[in-house]
Amino acid sequence: MTDTTAPAVLIERLPDHVALVTINRPEARNAVNGDVARGLHAAIDDTEADDDVWVVILTGAGSDAFSAGADLKAVSTGRGNELRTERGGFAGFVHSPRSKPWIAAINGPALAGGCEIALACDLRVAVPQARFGLPEVKRGLVASAGGLYRLPRALPQAVALEMILTGEPIPAERALQLGMINVLAEREGLLAAAQALAARITVNAPVAVRQSLGVAKSALDLTDAELQGLSAKAQSAVMASEDFKEGPRAFIEKRAPRWTGR
């Protein structure tokens, strides 16, 4: 039996400055209802406020799906407005400002809104059984939670348009070949693969990582002149940090840097 008292979103602190966020509705293929939207919204606030968290991993409970997208039961009973938050948009997540890297650990199919949640993350690790798709047009709908513009950024345009217009998914192996996901891992090693990717990030200065991510995420939206301005601001922010002094000091002393994130 499903434990209906369990939170819809779980947050766990892992070693080495990593947090694990889990959409915890396996009985509903981790579909997004109001509890999930509020839970992910709160998870962002929690991890953003915690200076000891440098990278966040997002996954789904069970093995049936990363997320099936919107909970159609909630929508059919007139509670569709609960599936979003004012700041975060759908799932309280897809449009929410985040300064820290999020890695999607995709444990099964990521379709419709589930695909849009995965696309809203910065990096993606997936099991071979995963599929990615935006089937909204098959139901007379539009993928309005970022999928229509994030998918063409993540894939070659012709492939993305084919997926959007036909509503047909692609398997994880092809997503890997086309650069949509970073790592393909067997189910039993999925979280370990996501943690290994996170470790490759957390070995670096967290302030520099966050500032670099902020500029890179704007690369397709702004002009070169605007991006030059953002890069200059990022450099100023890094130079004002304690870690800016620690990096050269560790190099001179021939030791690993001891980053503080400040």
Longest CA span, the chain: 64
- Give the Cβ contact number of residue 40 at 10 Å: 26
DSSP-H helix ranges across the chain: 34-49, 72-76, 113-120, 147-154, 157-166, 172-177, 190-202, 206-216, 224-239, 243-252
Catalytic residue among 48, 86, 136, 226: 136
Catalytic: 116? Answer: yes
3-state secondary structure 222-242: CCHHHHHHHHHHHHHHHHCCC
Q: State the Cα–Cα distance between residues 168 and 79, nearest whole angstrom.
A: 28
Which distant-in-sequence residues (6+ apart) come within 8 Å of 86 by Cβ? none
Catalytic residue among 116, 162, 186, 226: 116
Catalytic: 48? Answer: no
Contact 175, 126 (CB under 8 A): yes
Would you please indicate which residues are annotated as catalytic (active-site) residues?
116, 136
